[in-house]
Structure 1
Amino acid sequence: MKHSLSLYQDFGPDPVACRETGHYQREYIEGFVNKWDELIDWESRAQSEGNFFINMLREHGARSVLDVATGTGFHSVRLIEAGFEVVSSDGSPEMLAKAFENARARGHILRTVQVDWRWLNRDIHDHYDAIICLGNSFTHLFSEHDRRKALAEFYATLKHDGLLILDQRNYDAILDVGYSGKHTYYYCGTHVSVSPEYVDEGLTRFRYTFPDHSTYHLNMYPLRKAYTRRLLQEVGFQQVDTYGDFQETYRDSEPDFFIHVAQKGYREPIS
């Protein structure tokens, strides 16, 4: 697998002007990827989210799952251990290499494919019962054209009654109220600092500081919840249910993350 030789993240002379979808590959350099699991903390993450995704997939009868934002492999490994057939993909070769290494250490061999979501069907030829796109990954897409293209590719890769589970940070709260970052559910590492360094309607620039004082950044597009739901519906998903930090009922400003569960299956219109 090809590795990036870059030792430092490069956002150019004006980092907050860096708003390009393809830039994420240069953000996930090897040094950052090797520290990512300090941020997640696999054991604490498993306890905090419980069996939410496993139960959701089982309730919809899913067996085959395409993990399109594998990262370091946390959800792929959990789903394999729960009995699902999983293919693990990511746009970052560094992340896929780390995921493969993490899975192998736990006795599993991941089926990995490096993909760009905008051309998913170029590299992924099978159809799946479910697709998961987790870890706030969808917010790496900076243009509406790219977001619609990616969702259309997801839709086409699902079987006729397939399910897409896509999450995002609560950018509504970040934009309108301010960042809280409780780290209760998603980022469970206790010694890693995560906070927005810059925020506007078109960019949230996050800073990640680790115990050894190393610092990395990610530039993300601040998706509003209603906008994401609308895109999912306009692409063709028949029903979209949105959870806040794994809860069905919540106040919009409270969750750190929203989880959209989008069903492809055709439903007769109500007359």
Structure 2
Amino acid sequence: MQERQDFYRNLSEEYDLMVDWPSRLSRELPFLTGVLQKQAGKKVIDAACGTGNHGLALAELGWEVTGTDASPEMVAIASTRAERWPNLKFYQLRLGELARQFGEEKFDALLCLGNSLPHVLERLQLEQTIGDFALVLKSGGVAVVQLLNYQRIFSEAERFLAPVSRKTQEGERLFLRFYDFLPENYLDFNLVVLRQQGGTWQQQVETTRLRGWLARELLPVFRSQGFTRIELYGDYQGKPYQELKAKDLIIVAYKVDGEEMTK
């Protein structure tokens, strides 16, 4: 079992091949921009940004985007995309390290997408991560956090995700993803990459540990860190969250500072 950073280091070159980014962005951006447009400012931080596709799309639409990720390989790929966009920059930072890097600089909105929060494995670490989100947001700022709906996944014992097939010049690529369920809502996320080269197939197997955080565990943590108005959605179409039916758990949480809460 690997650390998250090692897991994505080993997959960085093919990560974008595995994801159908045009389809994904067309599905997710209307929801995200709908939230962001309600904010007074245009400064967005994308935590656990991967190869920077959301940041690039938002920069093209006029937002000032800062992306962060723990993987230096992912950040290097993202940074090549930022070269012609002065309103887009990337840093290598883990979740929980944002305020230390940016100090007094504050953002209007924070994104943490792509099921990234389950890489935070322990309750104390979760509190520190959500607290760090709050520290880099302006008063009234919004955090949009997406993860899979593990309440449904655990209830249905949904172990296998849909396989992904891609054609390349070298041959076909198959991405097979599945979970090993562990006690206390931990999971091992396994990814098998099959590469066709000539008449043969080669395989690569990668595994990383996740924590399947549930809505009832996350909401008290967000509230304790100053997010007093919280909305839950079950997908990027904006459907209300239903714990046994929704595909996603999308948390839209607004920060209100203590002194403002007393007004």
Task: Provide TM-score, normalisation by structure 2.
Answer: 0.83
**Does structure 1 residue 223 correspond to structure 2 residue 213?**
yes
Aligned to 1:168: 147
Q: Hey, what's the Cα distance between the residues in 1 that align with 2:187 and 2:159?
A: 14
Aligned to 2:169: none
Which residues of structure 1 form unaligned runs of 5+?
Answer: 1-9, 12-22
Deviation at 1:204, TM superposition (A): 1.2
Q: Hey, what's the Cα distance between the residues in 2 that align with 1:52 and 1:98?
A: 26
Deviation at 1:250, TM superposition (A): 4.7
Q: What is the SS of the residue equivalent to 1:28?
A: helix
Q: What is the SS of the residue equivalent to 1:164?
A: strand
Q: Is the 8 A contact 1:38 1:189 kept in 2?
A: no
Q: Is the 8 A contact 1:181 1:256 kept in 2?
A: no
Q: Which has the higher strand share?
A: 2
Q: Hey, what's the Cα distance between the residues in 2 that align with 1:172 and 1:269?
A: 35
Of 109, 112, 123, the match for 1:130:
109
Aligned to 2:181: 198
Aligned to 2:99: 121
For residues 24-79 of structure 1, give each alpha carbon's deviation from its aligned partner in whole angstroms, at most 9, with x where no partner exists: 222222x3111111222211112232411011110233410011111011111111
- Report the number of matched residues: 244
Assess, with a 3 A threshold, how the Cα gap between structure 1 residues 188 and 167 changes in structure 2: closer, same or farther: farther
Assess, with a 3 A threshold, how the Cα gap between structure 1 residues 87 and 250 changes in structure 2: closer, same or farther: closer
% of aligned pairs identical?
25
Aligned to 1:154: 133
Aligned to 2:228: 238
Aligned to 1:26: 6
Q: Hey, what's the Cα distance between the residues in 1 that align with 2:102 and 2:214?
A: 29
For residues 95-154 of structure 1, give each alpha carbon's deviation from its aligned partner in whole angstroms, at most 9, with x where no partner exists: 1112223455xx546411122332322111310001111111111111111111111111
Deviation at 1:268, TM superposition (A): 5.5
Aligned to 1:97: 76
Which residues of structure 2 form unaligned runs of 5+?
Answer: 167-173, 196-202
Q: Alignment RMSD, CA only?
A: 2.5
Aligned to 2:198: none
Task: Provide TM-score, normalisation by structure 1.
Answer: 0.81
Choose 1 or 2 for highest CA Rg: 2
